[in-house]
Amino acid sequence: MVICESHQVASKNDADTIVGVNVNEDCIALAAMSRNVSVKEQRHEFFTKRKRMQKAKQTAFETVVQP
């Protein structure tokens, strides 16, 4: 079953949300964030949390931390 819908969205200059795509050899990652958040800061915080949890041998990172 295929569903087709169309919606009006804000122009890229007026949008409140930015979507990023990262394509690597074996995966594709999508990220959506508000315009007022620094991507670099957000990524650093996310990876720092994951690293600390791994070091403490905590395995519930995906269910505990919201990227």
Q: How confident is the model at residue 37 (pLDDT cuts 50, 70, 90)?
A: low
Q: Which domain holds residue 53?
A: 17-64
**35 pLDDT more than 80:** no
The helix or strand, by DSSP H or E, that contains position 32, with its residue range, turns out to be strand 28-34
Residue 41 lies in a domain: yes
CB 51 within 8 Å of CB 65: no
* 11 lies in some domain: no
Predicted pLDDT at 64:
64
Residue 53 placed within a domain:
yes
* Residue 6 domain-assigned (yes or no): no
Distance between CA atoms of residues 42 and 11, nearest Å: 24
- The count of other CB atoms within 10 Å of the CB of residue 45 is 14
Number of domains in the chain: 1
* 47 domain residue, yes or no: yes
5 belongs to a structural domain: no
User: Does 3 map to a domain?
Assistant: no
Write a three-state SS string for 38-53.
Answer: CHHHHHHHHHHHHHHH
Domain membership of residue 12 (yes or no) is no
pTM: 0.40
